[in-house]
Amino acid sequence: MNCLGLIGGIGWESTALYYRLINETVRSRFGSLYTARLLIDSLEFQALDTLVKENRWNDAGAILAEAARRLEAGGAAGVLICSNLMHYVAEHVEAAVDIPLLHLGDAVLKELRGARVTRVGLLGTRFTLEHDFLLERPKDKPEPGRPRKPIAVFLPHERDFAEIDRIIYGEVCRGIVRESSRDTLLRLAGELRAQGAQAIVLGSSELGLLLKPDDFSEPILDSTEVHAIAAAKWLIDSKPSVARPAAATRRTARG
């Protein structure tokens, strides 16, 4: 089995969820005492959060890129970002290493296409809702001569963005779970369904810690769960790569 590098700590609760889901999927495939080969580079969330709030995305991207280089040098054959929001700087990570980035958006879009869903409601942070960086992916572009219906994305009303951010950052990221906040998110999901959404995508790692599929009447895609399971399948299906310590050393030297 190959080794997968996880860029985590953004925050640690969602990183722990990725770790558990990937290992559960590997064990369900092989049984017994099998576990996934994983490396985790756990970043300091407060520093990244400050950069995000100051709109210093290049600096945030540089931190994730350096983490990816460390993981590649440590033997990872692929890398994964354990955060929805930080996929905004995914290109920084992809450019920093020679190993593939397993992008959350690709995993979610593959799941939606497989279920023939073309209208989705999206719940996430304000930044995720305001920028198309999760569900706008090159791999989802139609091939020549093979037209494909685009996926329509429905969003909560802008007046609700601040409340969703408060729930994610002010509560769930701090280990707080409130029934009133769950009710708010369920109401917003119902409004998205009324707009025409066939399914709801939980576009924040923290939302999956607060909401479960049984909470909803409509189909739910927890992006973290979809991403983690896709990563585990990549580990299971990929052929072990040959270590390239010299390449890793040269890349580190370039900075």
In a shared domain, residues 155 and 210: yes
Cβ-contact 4, 37 below 8 angstroms: yes
Amino acid identity, position 131: H
CATH of the domain at 93: 3.40.50.1860
- For residues 111 and 210, state if they share a domain: yes
Whether 140 and 42 share a structural domain? no
Residues 12 and 57 in one domain: yes
Q: What is the dihedral of CA 49, 53, 56, 60, to 10 degrees?
A: 20
> Are 85 and 160 contained in the same domain?
no
Helix (H, G, I), strand (E, B) or coil at 101: strand
- How many domains does the chain contain in total? 2
Verify that 130 and 186 share a domain, yes or no: yes
Instruction: Show pLDDT as tens, one digit a residue, over the chain (255 residues).
Output: 899 999 999 889 889 999 999 999 999 999 889 999 999 999 999 999 999 999 999 999 999 999 999 999 999 999 999 999 999 999 999 999 999 999 999 999 999 999 999 999 999 999 999 987 777 765 555 555 555 678 899 999 999 999 999 999 899 888 898 999 999 999 999 999 999 999 999 999 889 888 887 777 778 899 999 999 999 999 999 877 655 544 444 344 344
Residue of 7, 12, 38 whose CA lies nearest to 25: 38
- For residue 231 the two structure tokens come to 């990563």
Round to whole Å and give the CA distance between 27 and 32. Answer: 7
Element (H, E) at 220: strand 220-222
> Do the Cβ atoms of 161 and 131 come closer than 8 Å?
no
Q: Which domain holds residue 205?
A: 105-224
Query: Cβ–Cβ contacts within 10 Å for residue 127, how many?
Result: 16
Residues 152 and 165 in one domain: yes
